[in-house]
Chains A and B, each alone.
Chain A
């Protein structure tokens, strides 16, 4: 049974249809990729799942329960963690405190005291390789570390599902490979993952399955190789130049 399921969800911003009747399933333990050109509606999908705004129509179910229309903090506590494309650390807090806040209020937050949350934070920082940065203020970190902190905050929430929204944008090749390894490690710890990514190198190495959005509509869904060779997908990415290239 699917752990997360979206059923024909749409999002209209006044007249603009950002996402149009998109359905997908996320199976337990898999890494599902979500790709598409800029403005395709990828982040809008993440925001609908995370409860930033409710879908205009359609339903989202998590572990069989409807979650569309719930507030972000309720969804976070149920076990869905997300990262932000434009990272959102708590700038004035230390790295450790940032992560501890995730542990305090996430899925197992109710059962953790502030002190236990600090211990959990240490554990997560060790896991993502930020342990030696733990006492620095979050706003003093470089891009790669900030992205990793964003992942650490999400992991500290003890989620069942993580939505990674472009955690590799702005990283160099070496850092991308590290991030890919990290996400694989996260999957092995039993967490189901949805990655939104532009970096094809990462998508190819990570995803079991991928689906493609274009102008808010789903145009392909399937194994990575198959989807990336799909004519519609190539067209969506290359636009008019597709003709020139095929001739």
Chain B
């Protein structure tokens, strides 16, 4: 066991160093692509906390992304905040919002929870579209980052990377603490969790809030990077779908599953849209469906179980068929 832990630690370290060094040897386009992957990896990993570990499939996590983006925009543009302060406030505001919304919404389970969160995100979009402080549908500009072009690419890449590392580290620490067990117990059987002494309301709300915190951070960096945001892309349901697909594709309830999912999904869809201008969405959809049918536990499961053969796929189909 000890030996294994040491090895995983070593591998993680190598991957991290690789990710940290990679922008130094490549062009701006690739750095930007890497930044996008990291952004989705943050969101998918954050979704994993509430959706993967706690078992509450939130279909509205984009609301935290949007809140993060708009908090940064408003604070920097209207209140003259620096980015550091705006970044911190964005995450915190998203987290507080998650607590306020979570208290009523987390009373719902399964599909009802999914629909309610979807509604929350749509309602928030409508609100932002109509508020004066967010400048409605015309969108809001942010101050530009005062750096060389190359420096800007580095800045946003490393901000995303740092946020992702913080997210994964937090998740890892929590999983090994009692709090992590309470989340998994809720996912496995909420009534049993309650009777065994777990304050399920508290645990669920904290998980939701933590998920919101990191999603809000991602939104904040995104807004500063774009220098101009509008309600439609900031609150679009597509973003939620994307994070869920990535988390599921990579492996729900696995620490590195969503990161792996974000990477593979982004790379696959990039390759597809390069080669098939019109039909790439069709091919992409097919790949996702095949992945869900053959490896419902995600590609992380293939890697950790080291099974990549026909019987593994057949077993999955048997186990999870409707």
Cβ–Cβ < 8 Å partners of A88 in chain B: 189, 191-192, 195
- If the complex has contacts A76-B197, A107-B197, A157-B196, are A117 and B184 also in contact, measured as CB distance less than 8 A? no
Complex contact B194–A73 (CB within 8 A): yes
Partner of B197, one of A52, A100, A106: A106
Task: A114 to B178: give the CA distance in the assembly, Å.
Answer: 6
Partner of B196, one of A91, A113, A114, A153: A153
Partner of A73, one of B178, B184, B189, B200: B200
Chain A 117-128: CB-based contact to B (< 8 A → 1; otherwise 0): 100000000000
Q: Which residues of A contact B (CB under 8 A)?
A: 50, 52, 71-73, 76-77, 81-82, 84, 88-93, 97, 100-102, 104-107, 109, 113-114, 117, 153, 157
Given contacts A71-B199, A72-B191, A91-B189, 4 further A-B contacts (CB under 8 A): A90-B188, A93-B185, A101-B198, A153-B192
Complex contact A89–B189 (CB within 8 A): yes
Task: A153 to B191: give the CA distance in the assembly, Å.
Answer: 14
Residue of B nearest to A113 (CB): B178
Complex contact B195–A91 (CB within 8 A): no
Q: Which residues of B contact A (CB under 8 A)?
A: 176-178, 181-182, 184-185, 187-189, 191-200
Nearest CB of B to A36, in Å: 22
Complex contact B181–A82 (CB within 8 A): no
Nearest CB of B to A80, in Å: 9
Cβ–Cβ < 8 Å partners of B192 in chain A: 84, 88-90, 153
Task: A102 to B181: give the CA distance in the assembly, Å.
Answer: 10
Partner of B188, one of A84, A92, A100, A106: A92
Complex contact A91–B188 (CB within 8 A): yes
Complex contact A71–B194 (CB within 8 A): yes
A sample of 6 cross-chain residue pairs with beta-carbon separation below 8 angstroms, ordered by A number, consists of A72-B191, A84-B192, A88-B189, A88-B191, A92-B184, A105-B182
Complex contact A114–B177 (CB within 8 A): yes
Task: A84 to B184: give the CA distance in the assembly, Å.
Answer: 19
Cβ–Cβ < 8 Å partners of B199 in chain A: 71, 73
Cβ–Cβ < 8 Å partners of A92 in chain B: 184, 187-188
Task: A97 to B197: give the CA distance in the assembly, Å.
Answer: 15
Cβ–Cβ < 8 Å partners of B194 in chain A: 71-73, 76
Cβ–Cβ < 8 Å partners of A81 in chain B: 195-196
Partner of A114, one of B176, B185, B187, B193: B176
- If the complex has contacts A114-B176, A114-B177, A114-B178, are A102 and B188 also in contact, measured as CB distance less than 8 A? no
Cβ–Cβ < 8 Å partners of B188 in chain A: 89-93
Task: A102 to B195: give the CA distance in the assembly, Å.
Answer: 9
Complex contact B195–A82 (CB within 8 A): yes
Complex contact B181–A104 (CB within 8 A): yes
Task: A113 to B180: give the CA distance in the assembly, Å.
Answer: 13
Complex contact A90–B189 (CB within 8 A): yes
Complex contact A77–B197 (CB within 8 A): yes
Cβ–Cβ < 8 Å partners of A157 in chain B: 196-197
Residue of B nearest to A78 (CB): B197
Task: A104 to B198: give the CA distance in the assembly, Å.
Answer: 9
Partner of B178, one of A77, A93, A105: A105
- If the complex has contacts A91-B188, A92-B188, are A73 and B197 also in contact, measured as CB distance less than 8 A? yes
- If the complex has contacts A89-B192, A91-B189, A117-B178, are A105 and B198 also in contact, measured as CB distance less than 8 A? yes
Task: A153 to B100: give the CA distance in the assembly, Å.
Answer: 33
Task: A79 to B196: give the CA distance in the assembly, Å.
Answer: 10
The 6 closest A-B pairs by CB, nearest first: A105-B197, A90-B188, A88-B192, A76-B197, A72-B194, A77-B197
Cβ–Cβ < 8 Å partners of B182 in chain A: 101, 104-105
Task: A179 to B192: give the CA distance in the assembly, Å.
Answer: 21
Cβ–Cβ < 8 Å partners of B196 in chain A: 73, 76, 81, 101-102, 105-106, 153, 157
